[in-house]
Amino acid sequence: MASGRAADSPYPEGSVVMQMPFFKALGLDLSDCFGGTLNVDIAPQQFTLRQPDYTFRQVEWFSETPPEDFSFVQVRLTVREQTVAGWIYYPHPETKPAHFQDRSTLEVVAPWVEGVRYGDGVVLDVSGEAIALES
């Protein structure tokens, strides 16, 4: 899982941790989730959001960056026989031009999954109405 706490990050606590109170105030409580993302590579497929469960527009979560849009889609994540409920976390790239958003990577915010490692296979159970996959 990525913490968002890279040495060169401008976000001292990690971006997801800093954003969580803003999402909670808007109606999405992520307090049971780890303060980072599990990045799931679905290449060669790419995804497009169709009907997210939540979309928050113009969130002013950090004083040194412009407001951003975020969407979330409910997901069940299974890794190493552990299944947890989580969210696909999608910072809209059009409101975050300095951040490259790979359409073959799903960022998932979920409770901590013990023992997960880079390269582990995962299963994501998500509504086909929420996202579309394309090759």
pLDDT value of position 1: 42
Q: What is the pTM of this model?
A: 0.89
Classify each residue of 93-130 as buried b or exposed e, where b means 16 or more C-beta atoms within 10 Å of its C-beta: eebeeeeeeeeebbbbbbeebeebeeeeeeebebeeeb
The answer to whether domain 15-134 has CATH 2.40.30 is yes
Domain boundaries, the chain: 15-134
The vertex-40 CA angle with 36 and 42, nearest 5°, equals 155
pLDDT value of position 102: 85
Lookup result for tokens 């509504």: 127
pLDDT (tens, 9 = 90+) of the chain, 135 residues, equals 445 555 555 555 678 999 999 999 999 999 999 999 999 999 999 999 999 999 999 999 998 889 999 999 999 999 988 999 999 999 999 997 666 678 999 999 999 999 888 889 999 999 989 999 998
